[in-house]
Amino acid sequence: MTHNKNYTLTELAEVLSLTLDGDGQCEIHGLATLSGAGPGQLSFLSNSVYIDQLVKSNASAIIIEEKFADRWSGNKLISSSPYVSFAQATQLFDKSPAPKPGIHPSASVDDTAVLGESVTIGANVVVEANVNIGDGVVVGAGSYIGESVTLGSACRLHSNVTLYHDVSLGANVIIHSGAVIGADGFGFAFAFDGSKSVKVLQLGSVRIADDVEVGAGSTIDRGALEDTVIEQGVKIDNQVQIAHNCRIGAHTIVCGCVGIAGSVTIGKYCIMGGGSGAVGHITIADRVQVSAMSLVSKSISEPGMYSSGTLHMKTSEWKRSSVRFQQLDSIAKRLKELERSTDKD
């Protein structure tokens, strides 16, 4: 929904299914942070860390939990989950330009392509043969859609997105600028004499289910034989690499700069923290959280939070610690020998 009007608090309470405590005729024209909000703006409190900012806020209204309601004397919209309510409110105040259905004169659309109703094809887009594009799809300027690609209804491809051949997208998929879906997986075999690498042709593709979002500059490689699969509701941040034959479970979140090696299966409702990674050919169970900058080096079979690496410290301390890391094996051996001698005594 494009933002084109102000909303009274009564209207917002109804649309967002919230309980209003305050002046229903108060008009809201935008959203803001607690510290940055002014008259006519709506803010929210979802973390008690920001209570001090709540008290000083100049917002006209706050989305807030019942347990914190007495900390704010102004207009309130009571929510059991203020951050979710705020997310819903952002859709009411979205100022993104509305797409204009039609095909730009500079676009190249193959005669065999099938386009649904109210499709928008931007400038310099290339649509190859046997492509099937659903109703309400928007393809941004400079994007490339390879042969036999399928796009479900209401997909949004921002500018300069590349979809290789045979890629399949479900409904309501959002792909941000610069993303590449369906490039070859990184597969090579050494020649018999070991003199060079022989390319393994990637014969699978990529299947992306409904309601997935892929961030700017991210890449999802096609499978070697079977498809790489991204299940429903997965959210992928910017600059993420997902290698061939991976499967990402439904509603999992993959944060920025994550690198996932080939043939990794990640369960449902997982979180891969920023800059984390996973080695190839492992499985991660449902509802696993991997903290930022961690490396998953073996399969995880139980839900929970997992971390690896070391905490930051001063460089001089790190250098001393790194020497000790190298000594751990010899220390362990000496300890074992000491235990044996103690047992004999």
Strand 197-199 and strand 188-190: the pairing is antiparallel
Long-range contacts of 35-40 (CB under 8 A, 24+ apart): 40/6
| Cβ 94 vs Cβ 112: under 8 Å | no
State how far the Cα of 184 lies from the Cα of 21, in Å rounded to an integer: 56
Per DSSP, the residues of 128-166 read -TT-EE-TT-EE-TT-EE-TT-EE-TT-EE-TT-EE-TT
Spatial CB neighbours of 230, under 8 Å, sequence gap ≥ 6: 206, 207, 208, 209, 212, 220, 236, 242, 248
State how far the Cα of 290 lies from the Cα of 301, in Å rounded to an integer: 13
- Classify the phi-psi angles of 269: left when phi > 0, otherwise alpha if psi is within -120 to 50, otherwise beta: left
Residue 182, class by beta-carbon neighbours within 10 Å (0-12 exposed, 13-18 middle, 19+ buried)? buried
| Cβ 306 vs Cβ 300: under 8 Å | yes
DSSP, collapsed to helix, strand or coil, labels residue 298 as coil
Q: Which amino acid, one-letter code, is at 238?
A: N
Return the residue matching tokens 């290698």: 243
Reference 34, options 78, 66, 72; nearest CA is 72
Q: Which residues are catalytic?
A: 244
